[in-house]
Amino acid sequence: MGKKEKHNFTNSWIKHSDPYLIAGPCSAETEDQVMETARQLVESNKPHLFRAGIWKPRTRPNSFEGVGEKGLPWLKRVKEEFGLPVTIEVANTDHVEKALKYDIDVLWIGARTTVSPFAVQEIAESLRGVDIPVMIKNPINPDYALWVGAIERLLNTGNNKLAAIHRGFSSISSEYRNTPNWEIPIKLKTDFPDLKIICDPSHISGQRNKVFNVAQKALDLDFDGLMIETHITPDDAWSDAQQQITPQQLSETMSLLTVRSNTSKSKTFQNQLEQLRSQIDEIDAEILKSLAKRKEIVGQIGSYKKENDVTILQLERWREILDTRIPFGEGEGLDKQFVELLLQLIHDESIKVQTDILNE
């Protein structure tokens, strides 16, 4: 992705909290439903930001696609009567115009929009010179560059009041509705340390009984906040009924979550941690040295194959490696999927090394 640039994000709109909480229904259905949800949230576990879907991008037509503009005055009432800032999803410039007209406090760009650079650019341009925070959900597919690209398009039009929302990624087979792929938001946090990242356990889990576990995992990974879909009668919700919880259930969930510090003032802890990290550093150095030695031998094999006109890919040998290394790794207490992924990365590098030699 080229040389990394230093970005200065303005985070003052996200109040320091443990954690920052965004809550509200998947969809704004009726004025009474919106107002009653807000009332119960204020009474049980007042969120920092009230969310509601006004326009709902659906996979197939003839599904409920949101009430549209007529729901925006309802959110204005939420602000006026309960003192809750409000946020909605926008997918085009018309949505942005209407959201600004009704004084929506924060916008978010949904996963289905993030996948389209053209759509994101149009939204970014429509917000040029507008002082309003924007949250960007990850794209549906695990494409890190698309997520970063959407963030950068907002930055390039002068908006640095940004946050990212991790809502999981589409998967054919997963215990979740959208598999978390935690390594992707961790990479985003690594590349943009000043960018606040909110986790959406509702869309990741797809089931209300899994919301707590996903939320706890996010906090354990030092995410800055949570966006949790909340409905007064979830089973009757017009969209995503299975993943929504009641305001009372949200309050219970928040009370059970463990919020950990990213450090400890204990000298004993710090000394012990430093000792263990020192051991890790030594092991990592040995791993890298071993991989470098392996690469050197792979290069020798590549040259030998080239001299004797032998193909690079040796399928039987690759199968032998998988059949022997995976059980060995499991016997050492390593996760099978981890060992398989590690071997695949090493094998891909070996193929690349031998291909470069063949093309010399």
Report the C-alpha gap between 84 and 35 in whole angstroms.
11
When pLDDT is cut at 50, 70 and 90, the band that residue 5 belongs to is low
**Taking the model in full, what pTM does it have?**
0.87
Residue 27: per-residue pLDDT: 96
Give the mean pLDDT of 24-48. Answer: 96
Residue 2: per-residue pLDDT: 44
Residue 6: per-residue pLDDT: 66
Q: Which residues pair with 134 in a beta bridge?
A: 107, 162
Give the mean pLDDT of 271-286. Answer: 96
Residue 312: per-residue pLDDT: 95
Which tokens in the block code for residue 287? 């791993």
Task: Kindly list the domain boundaries of the chain, sorted by start residue.
Answer: 20-256, 267-358
Residue 3: pLDDT above 60? no
Give the mean pLDDT of 204-214. Answer: 97
Peptide bond between residue 142 and the one before it cis (omega within 30 degrees of 0): no
Residue 45: per-residue pLDDT: 85
pLDDT in tens, 117-145: 999 999 999 999 999 999 999 999 999 99
Residue 49: pLDDT above 60? yes
Residue 15: per-residue pLDDT: 73
Query: Do residues 206 and 243 lie in contact, with contact meaning Cβ atoms separated by under 8 Å?
Result: yes
Average pLDDT, the chain: 94
91-124 core/surface letters (b: 16 or more CB in 10 A; e: else):
beeebbebbeebebbbbbbbbbbbbbeebbbbbb
Give the mean pLDDT of 326-341. Answer: 96
Hey, what CATH topology would domain 20-256 get?
A: TIM Barrel (3.20.20)
Residues sharing a CB contact under 8 Å with residue 207, sequence separation 6 or more, in sequence order:
177, 242, 243
Give the mean pLDDT of 307-328. Answer: 96
Give the mean pLDDT of 177-186. Answer: 96
Report the C-alpha gap between 85 and 105 in whole angstroms.
6
End-to-end CA distance of the chain: 27
CA 14 to chain centre: 17
Q: Which CATH superfamily is domain 267-358 in?
A: Chorismate mutase (1.20.59.10)
Backbone angles phi, psi at 51, to 5 degrees: -110, 155
- What percent of the chain shows pLDDT beyond 90? 88
Residue 359: per-residue pLDDT: 92
Residues sharing a CB contact under 8 Å with residue 215, sequence separation 6 or more, in sequence order:
199, 201, 226, 228, 253, 257
Residue 1: per-residue pLDDT: 42
Residue 66: per-residue pLDDT: 85
